[in-house]
Amino acid sequence: KYMPRVDQLLKVAQPIVDMGVFSRVETNGGGFEQICLLYGENPNKAVREWTTPFNKAGIQTHMLERGLNGIRMSPVPSDVRRMMFYLKKKQGTDIARSFDGLNHAPNLQKSFEYAREGGMIAQGCLCITFSPIHTIDYYIKLADTLIDYGAEEICIKDMAGIGRPVSVGKMIKGIKERHPN
């Protein structure tokens, strides 16, 4: 995955704003911050610089956050996780898009709580895959659980590119029918 430096990102920020077609732009997350560190950049400064043009234009920014899950090597203490959401909001990030690659909803509950406490929109991801248990009904019920845990929005995360329009459409329809707001 190619990730440009902040000086490169800033060159494209204004053209993105000028297009006038975006209401949201992804601006940061763990991968972004790791790349900044590899470039010798301060990721906190980089996030503030990258979100500023969008914030000024009224475009919401969002970050990707991995909730605690089975592949994380060491859990992050609650006070550090809570502080991260406050910090990200101060840096200009509006939406916390939280996911658990294993779709274990309880691992996201604190993320939603902390995002909301920090003044961010709490967005929960359905990480879609293909198997006999990963049905449309499975994902609709997972969305119900994430909403019960405090997710204000639901995102469909299809990292493998396996989502079929018909299936994804049925998921969205089912979620909207159960949660019209």
Query: Can you give the pLDDT at residue 159?
Result: 79
pLDDT digits (tens, 9 = 90+) for 156-168: 998 788 889 999 9
pLDDT digits (tens, 9 = 90+) for 27-79: 887 777 888 888 888 988 999 999 999 999 999 999 988 876 555 545 678 89
CA distance 132 to 145: 20
pTM attached to this predicted model:
0.88
Q: Determine the average pLDDT of the residues in 12-29.
A: 90
Q: Determine the average pLDDT of the residues in 164-173.
A: 94
pLDDT digits (tens, 9 = 90+) for 84-101: 999 999 999 999 999 988
CA 40 to chain centre: 24
Identity of residue 12? V
Q: With bands split at pLDDT 50, 70 and 90, how would you rate the model's confidence at 105? A: very high
Query: Tokens standing for 61?
Result: 């920014």
Query: Tokens standing for 116?
Result: 């909301």
Residue % of the chain over a pLDDT of 90 = 62
Residue % of the chain over a pLDDT of 70 = 94
